Amino acid sequence: MKVIRLREGKERSLLRRHPWIFESAVARGGGDAGETVRVEGGDGRFLAWAAFSPASRIRARAWSFDEGERIEPAFFARRVRDAIALRGRLAIASDGLRLVHGESDGLPGLIVDRYGDTLVAQFLSAGVERWKKVLADALLAATGLSRLYERSDANSRGLEGLQPATGWLRGEGPTELAIREHDWRFGVDIAHGHKTGFYLDQRDNRERFAQWLRRGDGRAKVLNCFCYTGGFTVAALAAGAAHVTSIDSSGPALERARANVALNGLDASRAEFVDADVNVMLRRYIEEGRAFDAIVLDPPKLAPTAAHAERAARAYKDLNRLALKLLAPGGLLFTYSCSGGIAPDLFHKIVASAGADAGVDGAIAERVGAAPDHPMTLAFPEGEYLKGLVVVRK
Ligand code: SAH
Protein backbone atom coordinates (compact mmCIF):
# COMPACT_ATOMS: atom_id res chain seq x y z
CA MET A 1 0.00 0.00 0.00
CA LYS A 2 1.33 3.44 -0.98
CA VAL A 3 1.17 6.29 1.49
CA ILE A 4 1.40 10.05 1.21
CA ARG A 5 2.24 12.05 4.28
CA LEU A 6 1.03 15.64 4.47
CA ARG A 7 2.98 18.56 5.86
CA GLU A 8 2.25 19.58 9.40
CA GLY A 9 -0.97 21.62 9.56
CA LYS A 10 -2.09 20.71 6.02
CA GLU A 11 -4.74 18.22 7.11
CA ARG A 12 -7.41 20.80 7.90
CA SER A 13 -9.30 20.79 4.60
CA LEU A 14 -9.38 16.98 4.51
CA LEU A 15 -10.78 16.92 8.03
CA ARG A 16 -13.60 19.09 6.65
CA ARG A 17 -14.00 16.44 3.93
CA HIS A 18 -12.82 18.65 1.11
CA PRO A 19 -11.53 16.13 -1.47
CA TRP A 20 -8.47 17.93 -2.92
CA ILE A 21 -4.87 17.51 -1.79
CA PHE A 22 -2.59 20.10 -3.37
CA GLU A 23 1.00 19.41 -4.36
CA SER A 24 2.18 21.95 -1.79
CA ALA A 25 0.52 20.03 1.05
CA VAL A 26 2.41 16.79 0.43
CA ALA A 27 5.56 16.20 2.50
CA ARG A 28 6.46 12.83 1.03
CA GLY A 29 5.21 9.68 -0.62
CA GLY A 30 3.42 9.05 -3.89
CA GLY A 31 2.21 6.46 -6.33
CA ASP A 32 1.44 5.82 -9.97
CA ALA A 33 -1.16 7.79 -11.91
CA GLY A 34 -4.56 7.07 -10.40
CA GLU A 35 -3.25 4.62 -7.85
CA THR A 36 -5.03 4.52 -4.52
CA VAL A 37 -2.90 5.96 -1.72
CA ARG A 38 -3.44 6.21 2.00
CA VAL A 39 -3.26 9.88 3.00
CA GLU A 40 -1.82 10.56 6.43
CA GLY A 41 -1.50 13.70 8.48
CA GLY A 42 1.88 15.01 9.66
CA ASP A 43 1.42 12.89 12.79
CA GLY A 44 0.73 9.72 10.80
CA ARG A 45 -3.00 9.47 11.44
CA PHE A 46 -5.34 8.31 8.67
CA LEU A 47 -7.12 11.08 6.75
CA ALA A 48 -8.39 9.61 3.48
CA TRP A 49 -8.04 7.13 0.66
CA ALA A 50 -7.22 9.07 -2.46
CA ALA A 51 -6.28 8.71 -6.12
CA PHE A 52 -2.72 9.91 -6.72
CA SER A 53 -2.06 12.16 -9.72
CA PRO A 54 1.67 12.73 -10.24
CA ALA A 55 1.29 15.40 -12.96
CA SER A 56 -1.40 17.56 -11.39
CA ARG A 57 -1.22 20.47 -8.95
CA ILE A 58 -4.17 18.69 -7.34
CA ARG A 59 -1.82 15.86 -6.39
CA ALA A 60 -4.52 13.56 -5.05
CA ARG A 61 -8.32 13.50 -4.87
CA ALA A 62 -10.02 11.74 -2.00
CA TRP A 63 -12.29 8.79 -2.64
CA SER A 64 -13.25 8.24 0.96
CA PHE A 65 -12.64 9.54 4.48
CA ASP A 66 -13.54 6.19 6.02
CA GLU A 67 -10.50 4.13 6.97
CA GLY A 68 -12.52 0.91 6.69
CA GLU A 69 -13.51 1.58 3.07
CA ARG A 70 -11.91 -0.49 0.33
CA ILE A 71 -11.46 1.24 -3.00
CA GLU A 72 -12.59 -1.59 -5.26
CA PRO A 73 -15.27 -2.20 -7.92
CA ALA A 74 -18.06 -2.55 -5.34
CA PHE A 75 -17.16 0.91 -3.97
CA PHE A 76 -17.58 2.49 -7.42
CA ALA A 77 -20.81 0.61 -8.07
CA ARG A 78 -22.18 2.05 -4.82
CA ARG A 79 -21.12 5.61 -5.58
CA VAL A 80 -22.67 5.39 -9.06
CA ARG A 81 -25.92 3.96 -7.68
CA ASP A 82 -26.10 6.70 -5.03
CA ALA A 83 -25.60 9.42 -7.64
CA ILE A 84 -28.34 8.00 -9.83
CA ALA A 85 -30.68 7.54 -6.85
CA LEU A 86 -30.31 11.25 -6.02
CA ARG A 87 -31.42 12.17 -9.57
CA GLY A 88 -34.47 9.97 -9.06
CA ARG A 89 -35.53 12.28 -6.22
CA LEU A 90 -35.16 15.48 -8.27
CA ALA A 91 -37.96 16.62 -10.53
CA ILE A 92 -36.05 16.85 -13.81
CA ALA A 93 -38.18 17.95 -16.74
CA SER A 94 -35.99 16.37 -19.36
CA ASP A 95 -34.64 13.09 -20.66
CA GLY A 96 -31.25 14.78 -20.81
CA LEU A 97 -29.73 14.92 -17.34
CA ARG A 98 -26.48 14.84 -15.43
CA LEU A 99 -26.12 11.53 -13.60
CA VAL A 100 -22.68 12.06 -12.07
CA HIS A 101 -21.25 15.48 -11.22
CA GLY A 102 -17.68 14.73 -10.19
CA GLU A 103 -16.60 15.69 -6.69
CA SER A 104 -20.19 16.49 -5.69
CA ASP A 105 -21.08 12.82 -6.19
CA GLY A 106 -17.95 11.47 -4.51
CA LEU A 107 -16.36 10.57 -7.86
CA PRO A 108 -13.75 13.31 -8.43
CA GLY A 109 -13.17 14.00 -12.11
CA LEU A 110 -16.08 11.97 -13.47
CA ILE A 111 -18.90 13.63 -15.40
CA VAL A 112 -21.71 11.51 -16.81
CA ASP A 113 -24.68 12.86 -18.74
CA ARG A 114 -27.60 10.82 -19.97
CA TYR A 115 -29.29 11.73 -23.26
CA GLY A 116 -32.27 9.42 -23.67
CA ASP A 117 -30.78 5.93 -23.71
CA THR A 118 -27.20 7.05 -24.36
CA LEU A 119 -24.64 7.87 -21.69
CA VAL A 120 -21.81 10.32 -22.33
CA ALA A 121 -18.91 10.40 -19.89
CA GLN A 122 -15.86 12.56 -19.27
CA PHE A 123 -12.98 10.99 -17.34
CA LEU A 124 -11.05 14.06 -16.22
CA SER A 125 -8.74 12.90 -13.45
CA ALA A 126 -6.04 10.26 -13.12
CA GLY A 127 -8.21 8.40 -10.59
CA VAL A 128 -11.27 7.90 -12.76
CA GLU A 129 -9.04 7.22 -15.76
CA ARG A 130 -7.51 4.28 -13.91
CA TRP A 131 -10.93 2.92 -12.94
CA LYS A 132 -12.54 3.64 -16.30
CA LYS A 133 -13.60 0.07 -17.15
CA VAL A 134 -15.03 -0.52 -13.70
CA LEU A 135 -16.93 2.78 -13.84
CA ALA A 136 -18.26 2.06 -17.33
CA ASP A 137 -19.59 -1.32 -16.14
CA ALA A 138 -21.10 0.25 -13.02
CA LEU A 139 -22.83 2.96 -15.07
CA LEU A 140 -24.40 0.49 -17.47
CA ALA A 141 -25.45 -1.83 -14.65
CA ALA A 142 -27.03 0.99 -12.63
CA THR A 143 -28.95 2.45 -15.58
CA GLY A 144 -29.77 -0.74 -17.47
CA LEU A 145 -28.45 0.95 -20.64
CA SER A 146 -25.94 -0.45 -23.13
CA ARG A 147 -24.37 2.59 -24.82
CA LEU A 148 -21.64 4.78 -23.35
CA TYR A 149 -19.74 7.37 -25.36
CA GLU A 150 -16.54 8.89 -24.04
CA ARG A 151 -15.84 12.62 -24.39
CA SER A 152 -12.63 12.90 -22.42
CA ASP A 153 -11.35 15.82 -24.49
CA ALA A 154 -11.70 18.68 -21.98
CA ASN A 155 -8.62 20.85 -21.38
CA SER A 156 -8.55 19.87 -17.72
CA ARG A 157 -7.39 16.37 -18.76
CA GLY A 158 -4.09 17.91 -19.83
CA LEU A 159 -3.55 19.23 -16.29
CA GLU A 160 -3.78 15.62 -15.10
CA GLY A 161 -1.17 14.53 -17.67
CA LEU A 162 -3.80 12.64 -19.69
CA GLN A 163 -4.25 12.58 -23.47
CA PRO A 164 -7.68 13.26 -24.99
CA ALA A 165 -9.84 10.17 -25.57
CA THR A 166 -13.14 10.05 -27.42
CA GLY A 167 -15.40 7.39 -28.92
CA TRP A 168 -17.71 4.57 -27.93
CA LEU A 169 -16.58 2.87 -24.73
CA ARG A 170 -19.53 0.48 -24.59
CA GLY A 171 -21.97 -0.41 -27.36
CA GLU A 172 -22.48 1.96 -30.25
CA GLY A 173 -25.13 3.99 -31.95
CA PRO A 174 -25.92 7.39 -33.40
CA THR A 175 -24.01 10.39 -32.05
CA GLU A 176 -26.67 12.83 -33.21
CA LEU A 177 -29.47 12.55 -30.68
CA ALA A 178 -32.57 14.48 -29.71
CA ILE A 179 -33.74 15.13 -26.18
CA ARG A 180 -36.98 16.51 -24.81
CA GLU A 181 -36.53 19.34 -22.29
CA HIS A 182 -39.70 20.88 -20.80
CA ASP A 183 -42.04 21.12 -23.81
CA TRP A 184 -39.18 21.48 -26.25
CA ARG A 185 -36.93 19.26 -28.26
CA PHE A 186 -33.22 19.78 -28.82
CA GLY A 187 -30.79 18.05 -31.13
CA VAL A 188 -27.54 17.11 -29.38
CA ASP A 189 -24.29 16.16 -31.09
CA ILE A 190 -22.48 14.08 -28.49
CA ALA A 191 -19.38 13.62 -30.68
CA HIS A 192 -18.72 17.28 -31.56
CA GLY A 193 -20.83 19.44 -29.25
CA HIS A 194 -19.35 21.34 -26.32
CA LYS A 195 -18.71 19.39 -23.11
CA THR A 196 -20.85 16.26 -23.58
CA GLY A 197 -23.03 17.99 -26.18
CA PHE A 198 -25.49 20.23 -24.33
CA TYR A 199 -25.59 22.75 -21.47
CA LEU A 200 -27.87 20.76 -19.20
CA ASP A 201 -27.04 23.06 -16.28
CA GLN A 202 -29.12 25.89 -17.82
CA ARG A 203 -32.26 23.73 -18.14
CA ASP A 204 -34.26 25.45 -15.39
CA ASN A 205 -33.05 28.89 -16.41
CA ARG A 206 -34.30 28.39 -19.97
CA GLU A 207 -37.74 27.56 -18.57
CA ARG A 208 -37.56 30.51 -16.18
CA PHE A 209 -36.74 32.80 -19.10
CA ALA A 210 -39.81 31.56 -20.99
CA GLN A 211 -41.96 32.14 -17.90
CA TRP A 212 -40.74 35.71 -17.51
CA LEU A 213 -41.41 36.44 -21.17
CA ARG A 214 -44.90 34.94 -20.97
CA ARG A 215 -45.67 37.20 -18.02
CA GLY A 216 -44.70 40.23 -20.13
CA ASP A 217 -46.91 41.61 -22.87
CA GLY A 218 -45.61 38.97 -25.29
CA ARG A 219 -44.12 40.42 -28.47
CA ALA A 220 -40.71 40.92 -26.83
CA LYS A 221 -37.62 41.75 -28.84
CA VAL A 222 -34.99 39.37 -27.47
CA LEU A 223 -31.19 39.23 -27.73
CA ASN A 224 -29.58 35.87 -26.89
CA CYS A 225 -25.82 36.32 -26.51
CA PHE A 226 -23.59 33.20 -26.59
CA CYS A 227 -26.60 31.20 -27.81
CA TYR A 228 -24.74 27.91 -28.53
CA THR A 229 -27.40 25.56 -29.98
CA GLY A 230 -30.26 27.93 -29.23
CA GLY A 231 -31.59 26.77 -25.87
CA PHE A 232 -32.74 30.23 -24.76
CA THR A 233 -33.72 31.05 -28.36
CA VAL A 234 -36.23 28.20 -28.48
CA ALA A 235 -37.51 29.16 -25.01
CA ALA A 236 -38.07 32.76 -26.13
CA LEU A 237 -39.79 31.88 -29.41
CA ALA A 238 -42.00 29.33 -27.67
CA ALA A 239 -42.97 32.04 -25.17
CA GLY A 240 -44.15 34.24 -28.04
CA ALA A 241 -41.21 36.61 -28.53
CA ALA A 242 -41.70 38.83 -31.58
CA HIS A 243 -38.09 38.54 -32.63
CA VAL A 244 -34.99 36.79 -31.30
CA THR A 245 -31.46 37.74 -32.31
CA SER A 246 -29.01 34.97 -31.37
CA ILE A 247 -25.26 35.50 -31.43
CA ASP A 248 -22.49 32.93 -31.24
CA SER A 249 -18.99 32.69 -32.70
CA SER A 250 -19.37 28.99 -33.53
CA GLY A 251 -20.80 28.21 -36.95
CA PRO A 252 -21.75 24.60 -36.16
CA ALA A 253 -23.52 25.70 -32.96
CA LEU A 254 -25.56 28.26 -34.92
CA GLU A 255 -26.48 25.66 -37.54
CA ARG A 256 -27.82 23.44 -34.82
CA ALA A 257 -29.62 26.38 -33.21
CA ARG A 258 -31.43 26.96 -36.50
CA ALA A 259 -32.27 23.26 -36.70
CA ASN A 260 -33.61 23.37 -33.14
CA VAL A 261 -35.97 26.22 -34.02
CA ALA A 262 -37.30 24.07 -36.87
CA LEU A 263 -37.44 20.94 -34.71
CA ASN A 264 -39.84 22.77 -32.40
CA GLY A 265 -42.06 23.96 -35.24
CA LEU A 266 -41.29 27.59 -34.39
CA ASP A 267 -41.47 30.43 -36.87
CA ALA A 268 -37.98 30.84 -38.35
CA SER A 269 -38.85 34.31 -39.65
CA ARG A 270 -38.83 35.55 -36.06
CA ALA A 271 -35.31 34.23 -35.50
CA GLU A 272 -32.07 35.85 -36.67
CA PHE A 273 -28.70 34.15 -36.17
CA VAL A 274 -25.48 36.11 -36.12
CA ASP A 275 -22.09 34.43 -36.44
CA ALA A 276 -19.89 36.99 -34.65
CA ASP A 277 -18.10 38.04 -31.49
CA VAL A 278 -20.63 39.20 -28.91
CA ASN A 279 -18.31 41.99 -27.73
CA VAL A 280 -18.27 43.46 -31.23
CA MET A 281 -22.00 43.09 -31.86
CA LEU A 282 -23.05 44.67 -28.55
CA ARG A 283 -20.99 47.77 -29.37
CA ARG A 284 -22.41 47.88 -32.88
CA TYR A 285 -26.00 47.63 -31.64
CA ILE A 286 -25.36 50.50 -29.21
CA GLU A 287 -24.01 52.65 -32.07
CA GLU A 288 -27.08 51.76 -34.11
CA GLY A 289 -29.32 52.84 -31.22
CA ARG A 290 -31.03 49.48 -30.93
CA ALA A 291 -32.88 48.33 -27.81
CA PHE A 292 -34.12 44.94 -26.59
CA ASP A 293 -36.85 43.92 -24.15
CA ALA A 294 -34.90 40.92 -22.89
CA ILE A 295 -31.23 39.97 -23.09
CA VAL A 296 -29.50 36.70 -22.18
CA LEU A 297 -25.76 36.84 -21.43
CA ASP A 298 -24.32 33.35 -20.99
CA PRO A 299 -20.61 33.62 -21.82
CA PRO A 300 -18.17 30.71 -21.68
CA LYS A 301 -16.09 30.17 -18.58
CA LEU A 302 -13.95 33.32 -18.42
CA ALA A 303 -12.26 32.43 -15.11
CA PRO A 304 -11.55 28.69 -14.84
CA THR A 305 -9.92 29.25 -11.43
CA ALA A 306 -9.70 32.00 -8.84
CA ALA A 307 -6.31 32.98 -10.33
CA HIS A 308 -8.06 34.28 -13.46
CA ALA A 309 -10.76 36.09 -11.50
CA GLU A 310 -9.48 39.64 -11.85
CA ARG A 311 -9.15 39.69 -15.63
CA ALA A 312 -12.38 37.77 -16.00
CA ALA A 313 -14.17 40.22 -13.71
CA ARG A 314 -13.30 43.04 -16.12
CA ALA A 315 -14.62 41.03 -19.07
CA TYR A 316 -17.87 40.17 -17.27
CA LYS A 317 -18.33 43.78 -16.25
CA ASP A 318 -17.82 45.01 -19.78
CA LEU A 319 -20.34 42.57 -21.22
CA ASN A 320 -22.93 43.42 -18.59
CA ARG A 321 -22.37 47.16 -19.01
CA LEU A 322 -22.99 46.91 -22.76
CA ALA A 323 -26.05 44.68 -22.30
CA LEU A 324 -27.60 46.99 -19.70
CA LYS A 325 -27.20 49.90 -22.12
CA LEU A 326 -29.10 47.96 -24.77
CA LEU A 327 -32.00 47.14 -22.47
CA ALA A 328 -35.26 49.04 -22.96
CA PRO A 329 -36.82 50.48 -19.76
CA GLY A 330 -38.60 47.65 -17.97
CA GLY A 331 -36.45 45.18 -19.91
CA LEU A 332 -35.03 41.92 -18.53
CA LEU A 333 -31.40 40.89 -18.24
CA PHE A 334 -30.67 37.20 -17.62
CA THR A 335 -26.95 37.24 -16.88
CA TYR A 336 -24.73 34.29 -15.92
CA SER A 337 -21.22 33.31 -15.00
CA CYS A 338 -20.15 29.66 -15.13
CA SER A 339 -16.67 30.46 -13.74
CA GLY A 340 -15.76 28.54 -10.63
CA GLY A 341 -13.33 31.38 -9.86
CA ILE A 342 -16.10 34.01 -9.56
CA ALA A 343 -18.14 33.60 -6.36
CA PRO A 344 -21.83 34.58 -6.38
CA ASP A 345 -21.33 37.72 -4.31
CA LEU A 346 -18.46 38.83 -6.55
CA PHE A 347 -20.67 38.30 -9.61
CA HIS A 348 -23.36 40.39 -7.96
CA LYS A 349 -20.83 43.18 -7.39
CA ILE A 350 -19.60 42.96 -11.00
CA VAL A 351 -23.11 43.38 -12.39
CA ALA A 352 -23.82 46.19 -9.90
CA SER A 353 -20.74 48.06 -11.01
CA ALA A 354 -21.63 47.45 -14.68
CA GLY A 355 -24.98 49.11 -13.94
CA ALA A 356 -23.28 52.08 -12.32
CA ASP A 357 -21.00 52.51 -15.36
CA ALA A 358 -23.89 52.15 -17.78
CA GLY A 359 -25.94 54.68 -15.81
CA VAL A 360 -28.69 52.09 -15.52
CA ASP A 361 -30.45 50.89 -12.38
CA GLY A 362 -32.40 47.70 -12.04
CA ALA A 363 -34.02 45.37 -9.54
CA ILE A 364 -32.39 42.01 -8.93
CA ALA A 365 -35.51 39.90 -9.13
CA GLU A 366 -33.88 36.48 -8.78
CA ARG A 367 -30.52 34.89 -7.97
CA VAL A 368 -30.25 31.56 -9.72
CA GLY A 369 -27.86 28.65 -10.15
CA ALA A 370 -27.36 25.40 -12.00
CA ALA A 371 -30.15 22.84 -12.34
CA PRO A 372 -30.24 20.48 -9.33
CA ASP A 373 -28.73 17.51 -11.16
CA HIS A 374 -25.49 19.58 -10.91
CA PRO A 375 -25.46 19.62 -7.12
CA MET A 376 -23.01 21.27 -4.82
CA THR A 377 -22.14 19.71 -1.51
CA LEU A 378 -21.44 21.22 1.86
CA ALA A 379 -17.82 20.00 1.73
CA PHE A 380 -17.07 21.14 -1.82
CA PRO A 381 -18.13 24.76 -2.35
CA GLU A 382 -16.23 24.82 -5.69
CA GLY A 383 -19.21 22.84 -6.98
CA GLU A 384 -21.14 26.10 -7.15
CA TYR A 385 -19.84 27.28 -10.50
CA LEU A 386 -22.93 28.57 -12.33
CA LYS A 387 -24.66 31.61 -10.96
CA GLY A 388 -27.04 34.05 -12.53
CA LEU A 389 -29.11 37.13 -11.87
CA VAL A 390 -32.47 38.14 -13.29
CA VAL A 391 -32.37 41.93 -13.46
CA VAL A 392 -35.38 44.10 -14.33
CA ARG A 393 -34.26 47.45 -15.64
CA LYS A 394 -35.85 50.50 -14.05
N1 SAH B 1 -26.63 29.60 -23.40
C2 SAH B 1 -26.20 28.41 -24.07
C3 SAH B 1 -24.80 27.98 -23.64
C4 SAH B 1 -23.71 29.01 -23.91
S5 SAH B 1 -22.12 28.33 -23.92
C6 SAH B 1 -27.22 27.29 -23.86
O7 SAH B 1 -28.22 27.50 -23.16
O8 SAH B 1 -27.04 26.22 -24.43
C9 SAH B 1 -21.12 29.63 -24.47
C10 SAH B 1 -21.13 29.88 -25.98
O11 SAH B 1 -20.38 31.06 -26.22
C12 SAH B 1 -20.51 28.80 -26.85
O13 SAH B 1 -21.47 28.37 -27.79
C14 SAH B 1 -19.34 29.52 -27.59
O15 SAH B 1 -19.25 29.12 -28.96
C16 SAH B 1 -19.76 30.95 -27.51
N17 SAH B 1 -18.70 31.98 -27.53
C18 SAH B 1 -17.53 31.99 -26.87
N19 SAH B 1 -16.89 33.17 -27.04
C20 SAH B 1 -17.70 33.94 -27.83
C21 SAH B 1 -17.62 35.26 -28.32
N22 SAH B 1 -16.59 36.07 -28.03
N23 SAH B 1 -18.64 35.73 -29.08
C24 SAH B 1 -19.69 34.93 -29.38
N25 SAH B 1 -19.83 33.67 -28.91
C26 SAH B 1 -18.85 33.18 -28.15
Residue ranges per structural domain of the chain: 2-64, 73-179, 199-393
Please give the distance, rounded to the nearest whole angstrom, from the Cα atom of residue 192 to the centre of ligand 1: 15
Q: What is 199-393's CATH superfamily?
A: Vaccinia Virus protein VP39 (3.40.50.150)
Directed axis angle between helix 231-238 and helix 251-263, to 10°?
30
Q: Mind listing the pLDDT tens digit for each residue in 255-310?
A: 999 999 999 999 999 999 999 999 999 999 999 999 999 999 999 999 877 788 88
Instruction: Output the pLDDT for position 117.
Output: 98
344: confidence class by pLDDT, cuts 50, 70, 90 = very high
Calculate mean pLDDT across residues 317-331.
98
Mean pLDDT to the nearest integer, 319-334: 98
Cα–Cα distance, 315 to 355 (Å, whole number)? 14
Strand order in the sheet with 292-297: 271-275, 243-248, 221-225, 292-297, 327-337, 387-393, 362-369
For position 382, what pLDDT does the model report? Answer: 78
Task: Please tell me the distance from the alpha carbon of residue 260 to that of residue 178, in angstroms, as a whole number.
Answer: 10
Closest CA to 199 of 366, 344, 323, 373: 373
- Please tell me the predicted confidence (pLDDT) of residue 107: 98
What pLDDT, on the 0 to 100 scale, is given for residue 351? Answer: 98
pLDDT band at 125 (very low <50, low <70, confident <90, very high): very high
pLDDT category, 330, cuts 50, 70, 90?
very high
**154: CB partners within 8 A, 6+ apart:** 122, 124, 195
Which residue out of 248, 274, 278 has the highest number of ligand 1 atoms within 8 Å of its CB and is therefore the one to mutate?
248
Give domain 73-179's CATH superfamily: RNA methyltransferase domain (HRMD) like (3.30.750.80)
Superfamily the domain 2-64 falls into: PUA domain (2.30.130.10)
Cβ–Cβ < 8 Å for 270, 242: yes
Any idea which residues carry the catalytic annotation? Answer: 338
Q: Which of 192, 249, 254, 339 to mutate to test the pocket of ligand 1 (most atoms within 8 A of CB)?
A: 249
CA of 339 to the centre of ligand 1 (A): 13
Q: Which protein residue's CA is at the shortest distance from atom 15 of ligand 1?
A: 250
**What's the CA-to-centroid distance between 2 and ligand 1, angstroms?**
44
Phi, psi of 100 (to 5 degrees): -135, 125
Mean pLDDT on 57-83: 98
Percent of the chain with pLDDT over 90: 93
- Is residue 380's pLDDT more than 90? no
pLDDT, the chain, mean: 96
Tens-digit pLDDT profile for residues 200-236: 999 999 999 999 999 987 799 999 999 999 999 999 9
Identify the three-state secondary structure at position 238.
Answer: helix
Residues in contact with ligand 1 by the CB-under-6-Å rule are 199, 202, 226, 228-229, 231-232, 247-250, 253, 277-279, 298, 300
Q: HSE of 266 in the Cβ direction (CA atoms, 13 Å)?
A: 29
Helical H runs in 36-149?
73-89, 126-130, 132-143
Return the ligand 1 atom nearest residue 232 CA.
Answer: 7
pTM over 0.95? The answer is yes
Mean pLDDT within 56-82: 98
- What ligand 1 atom has the least distance to the C-alpha of 296? 1
pLDDT at 237: 98
Confidence band, pLDDT 50/70/90 cuts, at residue 89: very high
Answer whether 2-64 and 73-179 agree in fold. no
Handedness of CA 365, 367, 372, 373 (dihedral sign): positive
Model confidence at 151, in pLDDT bands (50, 70, 90)? Answer: very high
Instruction: Report which ligand 1 atom has the smallest distance to the Cα of 250.
Output: 15
> What was the pLDDT predicted at 304?
76
The residue whose CA has the least distance to atom 7 of ligand 1 is 231
